[in-house]
Amino acid sequence: MRRLMLLLAASVVAGCQSPLPAANPQMAWVDFSTPFPNDKLLMAERLDKQRLRDGRFFEVAPGSHELIVRFDFEVPGGGGLMMDGPTERLCYLTIQYDHFEAGQRYVLVGQSIAFTPGARLYNAKREIVAEDRESYCLM
């Protein structure tokens, strides 16, 4: 029984660390970045209203697409007994970009300022090509 539990635990950990697939040259690839330490998680959630199975990146056909990402970050606590330390905030950000190009790599950068999340999409020249147009936060 103990061996079975160890094997199961090892397979779960290995599955979480699988390598990213090779980029398809006929598609555009979107990586993620969070520059600040309190920005904990940025994950692909939906592409054109369809839920994704792998949240580590977007791979999209050329043209116009709506990207929705999940963004988790810490916010500073208040002065009360229950709010002394930082708490986590979970938000969903929507980015619309009309000019994805095949074979190009983009970077979606999520960042937070206090309670306010934001995201910018950069092209390979590090030019901002889109910003989040809407956000929805659960806390």
118's tokens: 């934001």
- pLDDT for 66-85, tens place per residue? 999 999 998 877 555 555 67
Indicate the pTM of the whole model: 0.79
The band of 101, judged by pLDDT with boundaries at 50, 70 and 90, is very high
The Cα–Cα gap between 4 and 10 comes to 10
pLDDT digits (tens, 9 = 90+) for 26-80: 999 999 998 877 778 999 999 999 999 999 999 999 999 999 999 999 887 755 5
Domain definitions of the chain by residue range: 24-137
pLDDT for 128: 98
User: Chain-wide mean pLDDT for the chain?
Assistant: 84
3-state secondary structure of 99: strand
Cα 48 to its chain centre, rounded Å, is 15
Answer whether 42's CB lies under 8 Å from 71's CB: yes
**Which amino acid is located at 82 in the chain?**
M
Distance set, CA 53 to CA 28, 44, 136 (Å):
18, 9, 21
- Least confident piece of the model among 76-85, 116-125, 129-138: 76-85
